[in-house]
Chain A
């Protein structure tokens, strides 16, 4: 690996035409995309929330479906960004050679990677906003503070897009992503307080959960939905931003190496 690969990212507004390209593609497939990103988490939320919830008097001081709703917003934002950064990102980089076409123009790789992260985060934003609308319709939140869950969905998207792109940069083929989803995303869903409080876990797993980004997202989302300012909000935001910046830099270095061959 050459020293040039480690240079600081050079960020410019040239990412924007690429973001617009992704947006135009998405508009053409918007209907199935919205269905996939909304129907799936909402079905889980309703099924588990009302089905399992009828067996539980309350969880964390609220109805189970309300408890689950905040977690659902977080994990569906996580999934949207992850699928976009891994599968769609890999398609654009490797299979369709969209990146190659773009890199022949006066646009740098740094701009391309930035556009991928911002686009995947945009998908999270849309997915989070859609879940929030369902939350409102079901009357699970009555606080304007819940509007903060929209920028939170964007932040979750940034963090998971940035981490996910590390995998995209390393992937030889699509199969490779199964490791990430099985070993990272699925445990994250189960350990980070989406379906039950982290405090129910053995202490070792609680310590692990505290290091995972989704835990911090859930710790922000649940109070916001219930109209409270989250305790240690700045720390949680800081963790998610750290994941974003570290993931962006590491993935960029790996993409520079991959595409210089």
Chain B
């Protein structure tokens, strides 16, 4: 089966700075694929190249078996996009946003009108059909943007940080809807820097930094491959001293970040027993997660 989205050796520089550096990617039908990375890692530039909105300096890409950017217009007939920042039409109602957007795909008004009730239902916006966009909450706007991306019944949906800025309720509703889309056989490509989002939604993930893919696989694979299975976080004013004296005895790898010490261990029992005897320290024992992998791969220092 051909990949729905494929990139080979994609490269893009802006002003001498390499933003995407030799990227290879294959995404298959029905997958939810997550592109993770800190700000400035090249995620959005990658999406824009895969959509054919900008031309790569080197490398090739195909979208739904069509070469992009050469045949991007034809490919995008079956693609939906949820952009990072809302760009709904503020002068229009919810339903008008869907109608006007459907026309850009060459759809007849009657065909769009026929789809609007289902789209509104999917976005839980049926009661807001005639509400103007500025009166909607952030979560409603995101859901409308998602509904708008589905107006042409796309095979592939690109989502650039779909839940950034939303409260937990709104995020959970979006996640539920995205799962429904993959169940319908649609292919999703999303960028995010929320590890819980990636872990819950994505079948496969790629971690990106400085324009390169540095690790790729299912969430479970990424954790197994990159990091010890157990994490013990140690907190307290004396955690630094404790780390200098004891951490290396229990953990082959540990990181100090402020007043926290992160110990990565295959077996946490000896460390936990030791910590129970330290009255000035608090600790948290948990399984390793994707965030640990992400921080290990991309570092703890701030970006931008």
Residues of B within 8 A of A18 (CB): 104
Alpha-carbon distance between A101 and B80 when the two chains are bound, in angstroms: 10
What is the 8 Å Cβ interface bit string for chain B, positions 58-92, against chain A (1 contact, 0 not)?
A: 00000000000000011011010101011111111
Q: How far is the CA of A76 from the CA of B3 in the complex (A)?
A: 55
Task: List chain A residues, Cβ under 8 A from B181.
Answer: none
Q: How many A-B contacts at CB < 8 Å in the complex? A: 64
Contact B87 A106 (CB under 8 A): no
- Chain B positions 237 through 251: 1 when the CB is less than 8 Å from some CB of chain A, otherwise 0: 000000000000000
Among B31-39, B47-55, B272-280, the stretch that binds chain A is B47-55
For the complex formed, measure the closest distance between the CB of A21 and the CB atoms of chain B, giving whole angstroms. 5
A100 in contact (CB, < 8 A): yes
Of A14, A28, A97, A107, which contacts B87 at CB under 8 A? A97
Chain B residues near A184 (CB-CB < 8 A): none
Whether A101 lies near B91 (C-beta < 8 A) is no
Closest residue to B90 on the A side, CB-wise?
A96
A95-141 contacts to B, CB under 8 A, are 96-98, 100-108
- In the complex the two chains form, what is the Cα distance from A260 to B56 in whole Å? 10
Q: Which of chain B's residues has its CB closest to A102's CB?
A: B104
Query: Within the complex, what minimum Cβ distance (angstroms) separates B274 from chain A?
Result: 55
Q: State how many angstroms separate the Cβ of A177 from the closest Cβ of chain B.
A: 21
Question: In the complex, are the beta carbons of B104 and A106 less than 8 A apart?
Answer: yes
**Residues 180-221 of chain B, each 1 if its beta carbon lies under 8 Å from chain A, else 0:** 000000000000000000000000000000000000000000
Among the listed A4, A21, A25, A105, which residue makes an inter-chain contact with B105, where contact means beta carbons less than 8 Å apart? A105
A98 close to B87 (CB less than 8 A): yes
The verdict on A24 contacting chain B, using a C-beta distance below 8 Å, is: yes
**Residues of B contacting A29 in the complex (Cβ-Cβ under 8 angstroms):** 91
Q: Which residue of A lies closest to B54 (CB)?
A: A260
Q: Name the A residues within 8 Å of B74 (CB-CB).
A: 106
How far is B55's CA from A2's CA once the two chains are assembled, in angstroms?
A: 10
Which residues of the other chain, B, contact A104 by a CB distance below 8 angstroms? Answer: 51, 53, 76, 79, 81, 83
> Separation in Å of the B79 CB from the closest CB of chain A?
8
Type the 1/0 row for A228-261, where 1 means its CB is closer than 8 Å to any CB of B.
0000000000000000000000000000000011
Q: Do B100 and A96 touch (CB < 8 A)?
A: no
Are B87 and A96 closer than 8 Å at their CB atoms?
yes
Contact B54 A24 (CB under 8 A): no
- The yes or no answer to A17 lying at the interface (CB within 8 A) is yes
Judge if B106 is at the interface, Cβ distance under 8 Å: yes
A142 at the interface (CB under 8 A from B): no
- The chain B residue sitting closest to A29, CB to CB, is B91
Given contacts A2-B55, A18-B104, A97-B83, contact A106 B89 (CB under 8 A): no
Contact of A261 among B14, B88, B91, B96 (CB under 8 A): B14
Interface string of A190-220 (1 = CB under 8 A from B): 0000000000000000000000000000000
Q: Are the CB atoms of B53 and A103 closer together than 8 Å? A: yes
> Known: A97-B85, A108-B73. Is A25-B91 also a contact (CB below 8 A)?
yes
0 or 1 for each of A1-39: is its CB under 8 Å from B? (1 = yes): 010100000000010011011001100110000000000
A2 to B51, CA, bound (A): 19
B101 interface residue per 8 A CB criterion: yes
Query: Is B225 an interface position by the 8 A CB rule?
Result: no
Q: Is the Cβ of B83 less than 8 Å from the Cβ of A105? A: no
- Chain A residue nearest in CB terms to B77: A106
- Contact of B172 with A by CB under 8 A: no
Within 8 A of A (CB), among B140-160: 152
Give the nearest-CB partner of A2 in chain B: B55
Inside 8 A of A97's CB, which chain B residues have their CB?
83, 85-87
Tell which of B79, B103, B152 has the most Cβ of chain A within 10 Å.
Answer: B103
User: Quick one: which of B73, B76, B87 contacts A100, CB cutoff 8 A?
Assistant: B87
Please tell me if the beta carbons of B89 and A98 are within 8 angstroms of each other in the complex: yes
Residues of B within 8 A of A4 (CB): 55
Contact B105 A106, beta carbon cutoff 8 Å: yes
> Across the two chains, which residue of chain A brings its CB closest to B158?
A104
A149-177 CB mask vs B (1 if < 8 Å, else 0) is: 00000000000000000000000000000
Told that A100-B83, A106-B76, A261-B14 touch, could you supply 18 new A-B pairs with CB distance under 8 A?
A: A4-B55, A14-B104, A18-B104, A21-B103, A28-B91, A97-B83, A97-B85, A97-B87, A98-B87, A103-B53, A104-B76, A104-B83, A106-B74, A106-B77, A106-B104, A106-B106, A107-B104, A108-B73
A and B contact pairs by CB, cutoff 8 A, 18 listed? A2-B55, A18-B104, A20-B100, A21-B89, A24-B100, A96-B87, A96-B89, A96-B90, A98-B87, A98-B89, A101-B88, A104-B51, A104-B53, A104-B81, A104-B83, A105-B104, A106-B74, A260-B54
The 6 closest A-B pairs by CB, nearest first: A97-B87, A17-B103, A105-B104, A104-B81, A101-B87, A25-B91
